[in-house]
Amino acid sequence: MAEEVHAVPSTGPKTVQDYIDELPTWSDGTALNAPPMTGMQWRIWSLAAAGKFFEGFVVFMTGVALPLVVREFNLLPAERGIAGAASLAGILVGALFLGGLSDHFGRKRMFITEMVLFCAFLAMLILCTNFAALVTCLFGLGLALGCDYPTAHMIISESTPSANRGKLVIGAFGFQAVGALAGTGIGWLVLILVPKLSAWRWMFGTALIPALVVTIGRFFVTESPSWLVVRGEHDEAEKTAFRLLERSPRYPKTIKLARPDKPRKKPRGQSFLALFSERNRRATILASVPWFIQDVSTYGIGIFTPTILASLLSGGPDRIRSLRDSIAAAILAAQGAALINVLLIVGIAFAVVLADKLGRIRLQIFGFFGCAAGLLTASFSVDATGMTKLAIICAGFMLFNFMTNLGPNSQTYLLAGEVFPTEVRGMGAGFAAAFAKIGAVMTAFLFPIILAGVGTRLLLYGLAAFSVLGAAVTARYRIETTGVSLDRIGRAEG
């Protein structure tokens, strides 16, 4: 029979992270590699992962729905670009202006608010009747998802053990890939079951009830004890940490947090200029610039994969003369996109396993080079024909999807929520996500224009070169956070 597990005795006041990281030991003194997760910690993780699922679901489903939306509202090319970029523009604004509010109002409050916004705009999108309403609703969805970028990361990373933080944050982030696959898969299924222009409304409608369930669940999680400590609310932080770490058998039996010798005033909100101070400048560059670079490629390829495949498989736009042709091409494109997006999940699975072993920086650099290799592979399709052309494009995009989720797509998200001190962590991660989404919005709007202007080969060459630049910036401004307490990361970089 297994020996009983005992908590390491407390020797005095500790930080919140010290209590979270405290290791139980066997009676012979052998310690576990990481503390067992509590039910509350898993609840927080699950509800945060659901938010990332909805992001992948909505953004990538837009690629499947876009041809039907274009036909229903008779959109011009510029309007099509606006519709494709609307949700990404919302993510940019939401990450920049709403994500940072978690530093002022708390992680939990914004965790709930973003899902309320998501449900409201999703319901309105299903019922919208004109182009202006369509763009407004897509932008509103992005607004909610943008807030989720820093907030979900904060509420996970500030509530979980340092030893497993990487795999837990990336594991939750990985549900973005699951959502991407589900979005294309459900888009395909809806097109089969409802072969009408209104099919795109049913596509988005499938997310409404699950989103409402997640919204309700978020009311029942704990606030971040680390955030409460920074606010000077030590008594409340101790109660919250006690609830967060509730186990059976109970350990620790009491929580007594370290307090400053002199009571601190409740910190005032800081401006974005604090992110460019000498203390935070390196972290801001590392969190923002590589993420911008990877979003340029990831969202351009991800959103327009169905469009590219539909054009290829249908023989070009002149072959699409009726609604039936549009739906047939969309079905084929959704099937191909779903196959390609499977590699997003495979890539994130490898990232979950390797992030806490090989380190964030190493994986990000390796992943950027792998993305460049995938894009160069896809560029060889220009000289091919028929099924060979399709095979090369799929191989290149599949390699790209695997490497981006192994490396920059997951590691940039992880690093952005780790490299800043607690008092500006939400603002820093929000700024990084917003800066990244500038690249995503630019790509979503300009991708069709650039593709028509310079051709597939030069476009893919440019994206590959950009990926190499991402590896160079990561190497230059590296801050390794693997296995390091968030408290020490903040002090080390200060």
Domain segments of the chain as ranges: 39-221+273-492
Averaged pLDDT, 427-436: 89
State residue 4's pLDDT score. 40
State residue 317's pLDDT score. 44
State residue 304's pLDDT score. 55
Cα dihedral across residues 395, 397, 400, 406: positive or negative: negative
Using 50, 70 and 90 to split pLDDT, how confident is the model at 211?
very high
Could you give phi then psi for residue 268, rounded to 5 degrees? -85, 160
Show the tokens assigned to 229.
């400590």
Classified as helix, coil or strand, 217 is: helix
Q: Is the pLDDT of residue 256 over 70?
A: yes
**Which residues are 71's β-sheet partners?**
none
Using 50, 70 and 90 to split pLDDT, how confident is the model at 70?
confident
Q: What share of the chain is helix, strand, coil (3-state, %, to 5)?
A: 75, 0, 20
Domain at 39-221+273-492, CATH homologous superfamily: MFS general substrate transporter like domains (1.20.1250.20)
Show the tokens assigned to 119.
């449900």
Of 206-215, 325-334, 345-354, 415-424, the range with the lowest mean pLDDT is: 325-334
Show the tokens assigned to 461.
């060459």
d(CA 433, CA 292): 8
State residue 309's pLDDT score. 56
Residue pLDDT, tens place only, 152-169? 988 999 999 988 898 999
Of 174-188, 395-409, 418-432, the range with the lowest mean pLDDT is: 174-188
